[in-house]
Structure formats: structure tokens, C-alpha cells
Chain A
Amino acid sequence: GEDVEQSLFLSVREGDSSVINCTYTDSSSTYLYWYKQEPGAGLQLLTYIFSNMDMKQDQRLTVLLNKKDKHLSLRIADTQTGDSAIYFCAESSNFNKFYFGSGTKLNVKP
């Protein structure tokens, strides 16, 4: 499969912004995604961005895409303890396969 890389851990204080980064290798990626996984649960789609976009904002979430560098980031504003979870970056080039990173575990300290 295609390579999608993420850092494993991020720790922030409640109220701060969190930025989770992801890099990918497939230059033909069409969609890029962010999913959230809470303990013992499946993956919940947070947001996604089409490859011809640079930015997408949805309430507290901002996705930035640098297609030249194949870099995707997810910014969570005003991070809350309920945001503590594992966040997965994923990409798809043909809608038939979705490749995921290893996940970033976000720990929000009160």
C-alpha cells in the first residue's frame, strides 16, 4: 500500500490548539481524510479534503494541505479533554482503497 506517516503522540493542555501532521507518498491522491478513534471503538470520519483544495475549515477543525510537499495537517482549536483520542490520516487515489497512517494519540491535559 501507499505510505502515510504520522507522529505517534501529541500532548496539549486544554484550551490550547492541537496540530497533528501527516505526510503521504502517493502523488495521485484524490482525497485526504482525518478520522478519530476513541478507545475500543471504530473510526469516525472527522473531515476530508479534495486534493485541489489548500484548506478546509469546519467549526474547530482546520485542515491544511500542501500538495507539493505531500503534507496534511489537522488543527483543533480550543482543544477539550473530549478530543483525547487517536487521530488517523488517510488517503485514497481511486475510491477503491483507503490507506491509513499509524495514528497520532492526542492527550489533552486539564
Chain B
Amino acid sequence: SQTIHQWPATLVQPVGSPLSLECTVEGTSNPNLYWYRQAAGRGLQLLFYSVGIGQISSEVPQNLSASRPQDRQFILSSKKLLLSDSGFYLCAWSVGTGVAFFGPGTRLTVL
């Protein structure tokens, strides 16, 4: 069966520090991968999606970037965090079935 991992589960970072969040998927090949952000009391905003290694599409301009160095690994990064980057970051995957499955999320607090 397929599983999706995210780490860390929680993170507290100062403004201006770098960020690296990792997501890995097991039990499937060539998945589509997604990064979503859920700000406090708000819905899910699609940040990035990837249909293959090295292929990244950005949905909104922002202070973040994404990379996919391996088929089942998706990384969310920032060089300098802003206060507005705080939120709950969710990684998800899908294959041709048309259903997205989510990881447990990373709670990021920028102080």
C-alpha cells in the first residue's frame, strides 16, 4: 500500500532563516506531487505541483520554491522566511485514478 511521509511535523523558525520541508511517497511510481499551504482559519492553497522529476509548476508567486530530485521526493524550500510563510504545509500525491492523498502535514511557525 502507498504511504506518504512529511517531516518535520512541527517547525519554529526565525524570520530570515532558510526552510526545507521534505515529503516522500512509498508504494507508487511516477506520482504527481503537490505542496499545499493552509493558513490559520483558511482553506488550502495550491503552491506547487510536479508531474515528474525536475518538473515543477508554481501556482502563485511567493517566497517559496520546490524541487523534485527523485521520483518520490518533493522538497519545499525558502532562502529567507517571512512571517506570512507561517501555516500548515501539506504534501499530497496522485496517480491516474484522479484522487489526491495527503500527508500528515508540517506546522510551520515563523517568529
Contacts and interface: CB of A to CB of B under 8 A. Distances in A.
Interface of A: 1, 6, 30-31, 33, 35, 40-45, 48, 88, 90, 92, 95-103
A42 B94 contact: no
A45 to B, nearest CB: 6
Interface string B65-99: 00000000000000000000000001010101011
Contacts of B105: 40-42
Which size class do B's interface residues fall under?
Answer: 20 to 34
25 contacts: A1-B59, A6-B43, A31-B98, A33-B99, A33-B100, A40-B107, A41-B104, A41-B105, A42-B105, A44-B102, A45-B99, A88-B43, A92-B100, A95-B32, A95-B98, A96-B49, A98-B34, A98-B46, A98-B92, A98-B94, A98-B100, A100-B36, A100-B46, A102-B42, A103-B43
A47 to B, nearest CB: 10
